[in-house]
Amino acid sequence: MNTYLIVVSDDAKTMLTEHAAFLANVSISAAEKLIDTIESAFISLSQYPYRCAVYDLRRVKGSYRRMVVGRYAVIYSVDEATKTVKVYFILDTRQNADL
């Protein structure tokens, strides 16, 4: 099976850190579980990057996809030429993100 390299943008890393820090105020184990779950999602994307629906970012041109992971949405693109999945954002779906 071909696998794709996962590249996580600085913005996505910051978002994940902020989400986990917020959760840690209530439960450290919940924050750890969030990180583990997102990391598992990345592994899954490395194997099946096209399984998620195409997602339209109103303010950014390009072809993006959206993977829902619990209360969070991972916004990413697939570069077939380089076999790379680039993760741009990790959004809390309960918030109104204007992208």
Give residue 95's pLDDT band: very low, low, confident or very high (50, 70, 90): confident
All structural domains of the chain with their residue ranges: 5-92
Sheet containing 72-79: which strands, arranged edge to edge? 5-8, 84-92, 72-79, 64-69, 53-55
Tens digit of pLDDT for each residue in 13-62?
999 999 999 999 999 999 999 999 999 999 999 999 999 988 877 666 67
Identify the helix (H) or strand (E) that includes residue 76: strand 72-79
- 79 close to 49: Cβ distance less than 8 angstroms: no
pTM: 0.88
Say which range, 1-5, 16-20, 76-80, 81-85, has the weakest mean pLDDT: 1-5
**Which of the listed CATH numbers 3.20.20.450, 3.40.50.720, 1.10.8.420, 3.30.2310.20 matches domain 5-92?**
3.30.2310.20
Return the pLDDT at 55: 83
CA–CA separation, 82 and 66 (whole Å):
20
